[in-house]
Amino acid sequence: MVTHDNRREATGLYLATIEVVTSLAERAEVIAALADRRAALVREDDAPGAKERARQLRDHVRAYVIPRARALESPLLVVLLGPTGAGKSTLMNTLARATVSRTGVLRPTTREAVLLSTDADAAVLRRGALAGIDAGQIVRAPATTAATGMAIVDAPDLDSVERANRVIADALVEAADLGIFVTSAVRYADKAPFDVVQRIAARGLPVLIVVNRMPADGSDQRVVLDDLRRVLKDTALRGIDDAQVQIAAIAEGRVDPSGEHLEADAAAPVLQRVDELARDRERRLALARRALEGALAGLDPLLSAVAADVERAAAEGEALRAITAKSYDAELSALFEELRGGTFLRTEVLRHWESYVKADQITRFFSRGLGRIRGTIITAIRGMPEAPVGVVEKEVTSDVVAVAVARATEAARRVASEWSSRAGPADQLARDPSLWSASPELAVRIRPRLHDWVASIATDVQARGAGKRDLAFGVSLGVNALAIAAMVGVFAHTAGVTGTELGIVAATGFLNQKLLQAIFGEAAMREMIAGARERLEALLGDEFLKERGRYDRLVADPAALRALAGELRAATAPLSP
């Protein structure tokens, strides 16, 4: 038996989160919670690599780390790993002291792992470390030679041409407490076995290396072993007890007459190690703890990679949400300007109201003054024209809906146009073409809210008391008519524009303004119109926020992603020796 020594500086296995984590179990639970949070934030259009890393982190933590952390007393799982033709099955039969696994060239075509364990241990493993592997993919070997407290698995080849074999083998790397890596003197430097070693190192799995088919001459064996150590020099492997990785060399042809087992003395170093674990519960517990430490410490690169994925997703989400915010804010501002100018109102709607406020009885009221018509107020009331309240409210609110939907559609088009240049968002837009325009229900949502808004103006009119200036004339007009006058004032308030500057909007606004001033006084009129406008803009701002939310919901919350990335980075730790 020789050793390969790989040591890395250790600064502790515990991580700092909000509070100091004081045990492996607590640390495992913290990382498991982070893995679940990351998995929940994965989006369909995330990069395949990012999705795979999120899955790998969650699956490893849930399949091995948590079960082992919660039950160190569970059976120790020893897994034989290696490339095709390395001699794993021969070693398995040797360790079992019985023929439990088929050997030869046909083995890579099978899709099952071979499990040697007691019935009780098998049941525990099926609920724990092996729960993620389909029961039909694991063949139970006769349990007659199995040792209580330890199970041995002959894994399918990690370089098998059958993808199902590779999936099982990789799952077993995740589940194992000890890996026995089996290779040969002619293949140890090939890419396939080297990749297996890298996978074991990344997993932080304690390992024992077996090199089969070694030359019989001692000096030739030393040449092979020296070269193997060179190949492994930069690979951070963990041994059973410490950083010393044991390498067992087995000469070519050292098999018994059946060809299914190694000669006992040739396999003695491996048999001795496995038998020690089978006999000694404390050794098994120590190795289980070491395997758990390795699994947690070995998560460092994956945690860092996942944190980087999350940070990229946060940056992308911030950029996409900024596009959305800019587009909707710009269109909302343009909508407010359009509403204040009143140019969106159709001429026929304005004509309805202009005809009303130009009626003789009303124009006499605000042109001749209250005092001069007090004697004829009853005559004025009797001849008062009927205000087109219903028609004007319906048509004005209809115009408001139309212009709001038009602006929301333009905002949607701008967002979709910019998003479409990015791969993930472009896929989302292709799946939902409605994202290129305002949502179909926008108009339906706005209409009743505008009706309520007009009602709020009527309530304000009533509360202010039109009759404070002239009760009889105010009552003769009616609260609803005055509410419509205030509503029109929101969109057609002249702010002193007169003479040749007057168009239909300004002309109607001018007369409307005179009426409201005569009833309420200029200060109260301005306050009432400003309040109505503020409520309308808040209403429309809320609806635009809902429209914008259609896009924001397609992106994971950047703040949540930033927080998660920070916690993932805090959860990293260097490998223990």
The domain limits of the chain are: 2-7+75-279, 307-554
List Cα–Cα distances, 330 to 157, 397, 414, 441, in angstroms. Answer: 60, 22, 10, 22
pTM over 0.75: no
Phi then psi for 262, rounded to 5 degrees? -80, 155
List Cα–Cα distances, 102 to 52, 84, 255, in angstroms. Answer: 33, 13, 15
Consecutive 10-residue averages of pLDDT for the chain (577 residues): 44 33 77 94 88 91 86 92 85 91 56 88 91 86 91 84 76 89 83 80 88 89 90 85 85 86 90 93 91 86 94 95 97 92 66 52 48 39 53 81 96 96 87 93 95 86 59 50 72 50 55 67 80 93 97 92 94 56
DSSP code at position 63: I
Q: Contact at 8 Å (CB) between 442 and 547? A: yes
The predicted pLDDT at position 7 comes to: 41
Which structure tokens are listed for 140?
């139970």
Sequence-distant (≥ 6) Cβ neighbours of residue 17 within 8 angstroms: 30, 567, 570, 571
* Residue in 455, 456, 478 with CA at minimum distance from that of residue 466: 478
Give the 3-state secondary structure of residue 2. Answer: strand
Phi then psi for 80, rounded to 5 degrees? -85, 120
Phi then psi for 265, rounded to 5 degrees? -70, -30
**Domain 2-7+75-279 superfamily per CATH:** P-loop containing nucleotide triphosphate hydrolases (3.40.50.300)
* Residue in 557, 552, 508, 513 with CA at minimum distance from that of residue 395: 508
475: number of Cβ within 10 Å = 12
* Residue in 285, 275, 282 with CA at minimum distance from that of residue 95: 275
Q: Contact at 8 Å (CB) between 125 and 297? A: no
DSSP string, 315-368: HHHHHHHHHHHHHHHHHHHHHHHHHHHTTTS-HHHHHHHHHHHTSHHHHHHHHH
Which structure tokens are listed for 529?
């119109």
The predicted pLDDT at position 472 comes to: 42
Give the 3-state secondary structure of residue 16. Answer: strand
Strand partners, 190: none
The predicted pLDDT at position 405 comes to: 97
The two beta strands, 2-5 and 178-184, are unpaired
53/47 Cα distance (integer angstroms): 10
* Residue in 266, 153, 158 with CA at minimum distance from that of residue 212: 266
> Side chain identity at 440, as an amino acid letter?
P
